[in-house]
Amino acid sequence: MDRTPAPRAAGVPVKEIAMIEVGQTAPDFELPDHLGRTLGPGRFRGRRHVMLLFYPLDFTPT
């Protein structure tokens, strides 16, 4: 399966990890959000694409 290179700032290496791959079906999940809702990708199925932005921690740089 082709892996699209990560869009990134110049000079930042892409780390290869065994992450979910293009072509796979995403696991469905629901989590609470900061505005009191409970949401997950399944809620938008058939209506919207979904971009998941995972990040390490709040209150940290980048």
Partner 1 sequence: MPAVERLLSRFRGAHTQVLGISVDSIYCHANWAASLGGISFPLLADFHPKGAVGQACGIYLEEAGIDDRATVILDAGGTVRHASSVTPAGKRDIDELAALCEEIDRAWSGELPEIPAPSGLDGPATLYVKSPCGFSQKALLARTNLHFEQAVTVRNVSEDPAARDELVARAGCDQAPCLVLGDRVIQESDEIVAHLASRGTDID
Q: How long is the chain?
A: 62
User: From residue 2 to residue 41, what is the string marking binding to partner 1 with x (rule CB under 8 A)?
Assistant: -xxxxxxx--xxxx-xxxxxxxxxxxxx-xxxxxxx-xxx
Mapped onto helix, strand or coil, the DSSP state of residue 9 is coil
Count of residues touching partner 1 (by CB under 8 A): 52
Tokens representing residue 41 in the block: 């990708």
Shortest distance (Å) from residue 28 CB to partner 1: 7
The backbone torsions φ and ψ at residue 38, rounded to the nearest 5 degrees and listed phi first, read -120, 120
Q: Which residues bind partner 1 (CB under 8 A)?
A: 3-9, 12-15, 17-29, 31-37, 39-42, 44-59, 62
